[in-house]
Structure 1
């Protein structure tokens, strides 16, 4: 593993110090940070029970994971400087707690407990991608398109099973959809109106429907936490984001820096952008892929950096590479909103922006070398390091984009680079909201110039 060449000193990955002696002025104590991990543990345990296990005994593995990780959390609760034999828990931080949790899963016999969830979400989101791209293409103004694409990034980033609030709502929605499906099937069999069995977001949450102004945070989550999301679900989520200005809102500053108007045409200040992506499903497919495509339109070379190893519902580089043919085909079928099947008539379709860029070497996926839902940029893969080596790309022409709460808020929010950098993520932990003096589901869009 190597240090990202454009990363400047001093650097500490974690945005919020956990150790008491480092947390002067912080609003959240280390005990409260431990509770964040404690609250999410049941979600991990539940997914262990249905995941592939090396010995074929997921029940035993789930119990072992739960006992081991709770033991670690309890030990650190008593003494934040405690060493736990066999586990890397020091220095006590968000990054190291994520490391310890992955160690517990591996030792309990699990490799990727969220694999089925990622596949389901990818399959549900892929048919919506052509519709999202078509909507973006209908806007002729590059700035307006980029604003819409940025809003899509935040809408997609709601899907995060590492956050207890999002995970709880995901399970609630999945159960409600199952009940609605079964109720509709029974109603059909009884020759009754199946609409009576539809469970709405307001019934699930006890809140107003999505069409009502000033909807609750539960409604915002509801529109994307859907077992079978539709275009309207995604559009609702995007439209119901907290209004601008966001908690941190440098979007206009970024767009002013990005777009250079020459001869009545918009070109870009950058030659290359490296995008660190987060979750599978709507996040990467409906959020980051359309955003990447807008950069490609500006003739910017785009490199997507994804995890090497599985962690929560974060997409891996190998998984994303496997999806690329479907992404290419989905773009090339964006002329129809109905019955979209990315595998149909591929040879007869004109090549899209993604495929052309990939074939010319201007769009690719690389492994970041990471295996966590956060990232320490002092430890990245040689492959990623080479992409931003100043010998290969002038830092003045390079853009780094960090996306997702883990990579852009809980870590690296204050990281400094030798190039321009953009952090985009949604607040999904109350503790993070408290530290940033914001609220749940606030959007963070932080842009800074090189060296800032």
Structure 2
């Protein structure tokens, strides 16, 4: 059997099934009665730009060269359990074809099928099977998702807009109740990483729905039955309160449309062939009634156990859920009814992989678990199913719901310790799932910019074979994602500008365009360094403190104008004659659109100086060299330690940590103040842990987190439109914070009440 026929047999698109098997290692598999989920890590090799100080003889600031980057990626493949033998054969054939035998000689297996298929797995793959407890794997997988993946948790309200509402990452994960609905149902109380218990269960679950549904209808599969239920009207089968009382039963608080008896009308209706047509129940009505009956019972039991154990959070998962809108709607209705709205049932975007993730983690060493964080690869993952149109639901096997990939980050990421309330912190300023006008504008904006991104990608690798083809593939992939989001804004979690930018970066990297602006950044850094001596001399000539402080603030803003991610500015910069003075002349005159400069000036002129300032930098070139560095230099001269934070990974023309480190060494040759501060450790460059034009302070480099605490940081400066406007505009901190940005998008400026090049200079004192 060919690879293509295998892919068809397990209902997965050929190009996405079993990716990177030639470098696969550490397999884990969750074998259920109906579905099996395979997890494995693989190394993905791609080209990236390496920045080094070993420059050529042409006077370049640094050398940019292409090098191989290795990414560890966690892949998941879901298939029907009945095809497990074909799946294992395919894995072994691929291993033989690439002459790369499975590196791990032990495979973690969980789920009921772990016992049934032990001998088959050992025979086909030549590995030892290590069976893991199913409940333990479920909990490990759930904890992993809750702590690592943003927008993992959501509530579902079918008749609201948007229907999906994603929850902020809850740093206080425990305790919670996990209701796992498979063939039967398990209720699991989770109190900590290693303390949990199955407090009860019921035999009335997904198997009951499927079994009775098969007897009552002609549906052949679980999804066929759900699709029938989607079209049905349970009121034709169920007996309602109003069918008994003629209306509501107000004395005990029962509304007329509440179900009094599931299938109650069937008991009073003749069912012989000679009876009239009106008493022949439709299959879709029977399926709907059955779904509601089982969902209501599960919901009531979940509420009772949650109350009994004083649990406020209930997560639902299992084969019965699988992101199906109608199923989530019936569960939500039941929970809301039984708790009178006090508890909202919560669902997980990736709940179908809990067992596989948990089994994989069982095979990971303690060192691995502590050392790394994981990030969803949006270029290789799929989103939630579209909830509409409600009566034309596609089967989940026809959707992209089952594709999932995680990339391992090289360092563990932690929340910023200076956030005033980390539990309620949300980085994004605008929720595009709720703001229709903003969503329509930004989706179109990113569509309109795709040609320029494709052109830049090709330009960055003009001497590399296949660059044009790969750039076209990137364009197709990203446009496909944007069209998906047009149809279903909640497909990948909460929708915001940050997500659109990050998704574009993921798609670029998927086709080996890791740093399309590397040469452009190098050129601009070299040019800016030539102008730095005069810039510092002009500032030092300002004897008046107020005048110098204002000049530094304007310089910080002027540098931020140089942004290749802003379409209108990029058009100006492409002409090649736009300099720092031109940027200053573009700035809005005071009073600025948001103007806390007087408060900033007052704080800077007081006798007490800051102990340590953390600056989250934005762009390369004039921004970092002529704007940020003089600003930081002034702080250093007053005795403040300064930490300059740059992206760990490249995106657009943002300065990276590698580039910043080299820039500072060259600046130290120009400026003795910078040189001395670097040598004494009073000026430090650090990686932020980010790879985005925006800034998510829930996930920053753990070394930076420790440094912030160690140095008693009392000032944060967030620079740039992405970091200070699209994200963190409303963020509150324990310490003082300055958010500085120039609005380089005409639509956004108008929406905020300003014009192009309006200034946001937002200074807030700490509230701790």
TM-score by length of 2: 0.45
How much does 1:40 deviate? Answer: 2.4
How much does 1:156 deviate? Answer: 1.1
Alignment deviations for residues 30-77 of structure 1 (CA, whole Å, 9 cap, x no partner): 111212222322221111112238973210111011111111111111
- In 1: Cα distance, 2:587 partner to 2:440 partner: 31
Q: What is the DSSP-based 3-state SS (H/G/I as helix, E as strand, rest coil) of the residue aligned with 2:495?
A: coil
Contact kept, 8 Å, 1:302 with 1:364, in 2: the verdict is yes
Matched, 1:69 2:478: yes
Equivalent of 1:378 in 698, 707, 728: 698
Contact kept, 8 Å, 1:307 with 1:369, in 2: the verdict is yes
Alignment deviations for residues 290-321 of structure 1 (CA, whole Å, 9 cap, x no partner): 11111111111011000000000000011010
- In 2: Cα distance, 1:269 partner to 1:124 partner: 33
The residue aligned with 1:46 is 455
- In 2: Cα distance, 1:354 partner to 1:394 partner: 21
Q: What is the DSSP-based 3-state SS (H/G/I as helix, E as strand, rest coil) of the residue aligned with 2:700?
A: coil
- In 1: Cα distance, 2:755 partner to 2:649 partner: 31
The residue aligned with 1:164 is 567
Equivalent of 1:438 in 739, 754, 763: 754
How much does 1:124 deviate? Answer: 1.1
Alignment deviations for residues 347-377 of structure 1 (CA, whole Å, 9 cap, x no partner): xxxxx10011111110010000000000101
The 5 A counterparts of 1:126-137 are: 126-137=529-540
The residue aligned with 1:144 is 547
The residue aligned with 1:13 is 427
* Cα distance change, pair 118–79 in 1 and its aligned pair in 2 (3 A): same
Task: Give the structure with higher Rg (CA).
Answer: 2
How much does 1:270 deviate? Answer: 0.8
Q: What is the DSSP-based 3-state SS (H/G/I as helix, E as strand, rest coil) of the residue aligned with 2:414?
A: coil
- In 1: Cα distance, 2:517 partner to 2:604 partner: 36
Matched, 1:3 2:415: yes
The 5 A counterparts of 1:403-418 are: 403-418=719-734
Matched, 1:324 2:733: no
Alignment deviations for residues 73-106 of structure 1 (CA, whole Å, 9 cap, x no partner): 1111122123xxxxxx422112211221111001
Root-mean-square deviation (Å): 1.8
How much does 1:269 deviate? Answer: 2.8
The 5 A counterparts of 1:309-348 are: 309-331=649-671
Equivalent of 1:307 in 644, 647, 652: 647
- In 2: Cα distance, 1:98 partner to 1:360 partner: 37
The 5 A counterparts of 1:273-292 are: 273-292=613-632
How much does 1:412 deviate? Answer: 0.5
Contact kept, 8 Å, 2:612 with 2:712, in 1: the verdict is no
Contact kept, 8 Å, 1:53 with 1:110, in 2: the verdict is no
How much does 1:146 deviate? Answer: 1.5
Equivalent of 1:36 in 421, 445, 468: 445
- In 2: Cα distance, 1:57 partner to 1:293 partner: 45
Contact kept, 8 Å, 2:609 with 2:639, in 1: the verdict is no
- In 2: Cα distance, 1:298 partner to 1:97 partner: 40
Greater fraction strand:
2
The residue aligned with 1:183 is none
* Cα distance change, pair 54–17 in 1 and its aligned pair in 2 (3 A): farther
The residue aligned with 1:93 is 496
* Cα distance change, pair 106–53 in 1 and its aligned pair in 2 (3 A): farther
The residue aligned with 2:490 is 81
- In 2: Cα distance, 1:53 partner to 1:423 partner: 38
- In 1: Cα distance, 2:448 partner to 2:554 partner: 29
- In 2: Cα distance, 1:255 partner to 1:383 partner: 31
- In 2: Cα distance, 1:360 partner to 1:439 partner: 43
Equivalent of 1:402 in 718, 726, 740: 718
Matched, 1:355 2:675: yes
Q: Select between 415-424 and 73-82 the one with higher mean Cα deviation.
A: 73-82
How much does 1:240 deviate? Answer: 4.3
Matched, 1:237 2:651: no
Structure 1 residue ranges without an equivalent (≥5): 83-88, 175-225, 262-267, 332-351
Alignment deviations for residues 260-291 of structure 1 (CA, whole Å, 9 cap, x no partner): 24xxxxxx431110011100001111100111
* Cα distance change, pair 51–37 in 1 and its aligned pair in 2 (3 A): same
How much does 1:153 deviate? Answer: 1.2
Matched, 1:366 2:706: no
Structure 2 residue ranges without an equivalent (≥5): 1-412
Runs of 4+ in 1 over 3 A off after TM superposition: 52-56
TM-score by length of 1: 0.75
How much does 1:429 deviate? Answer: 1.4
How much does 1:259 deviate? Answer: 2.4
Contact kept, 8 Å, 2:431 with 2:494, in 1: the verdict is no
Contact kept, 8 Å, 2:614 with 2:716, in 1: the verdict is yes
Contact kept, 8 Å, 1:40 with 1:163, in 2: the verdict is no
Alignment deviations for residues 186-245 of structure 1 (CA, whole Å, 9 cap, x no partner): xxxxxxxxxxxxxxxxxxxxxxxxxxxxxxxxxxxxxxxx3xx6xxx3234324421001
Matched, 1:256 2:659: no
Q: What is the DSSP-based 3-state SS (H/G/I as helix, E as strand, rest coil) of the residue aligned with 2:642?
A: strand
Question: Aligned residues, how many?
Answer: 354
Q: What is the DSSP-based 3-state SS (H/G/I as helix, E as strand, rest coil) of the residue aligned with 1:388?
A: helix
Contact kept, 8 Å, 1:306 with 1:317, in 2: the verdict is yes
- In 2: Cα distance, 1:64 partner to 1:44 partner: 12
Say which structure, 1 or 2, has more relative contact order (CA 8 Å, 6+ apart): 1
How much does 1:168 deviate? Answer: 2.1
Contact kept, 8 Å, 2:415 with 2:698, in 1: the verdict is yes
The residue aligned with 2:511 is 108
The 5 A counterparts of 1:19-30 are: 19-20=433-434, 23=435, 28-30=437-439
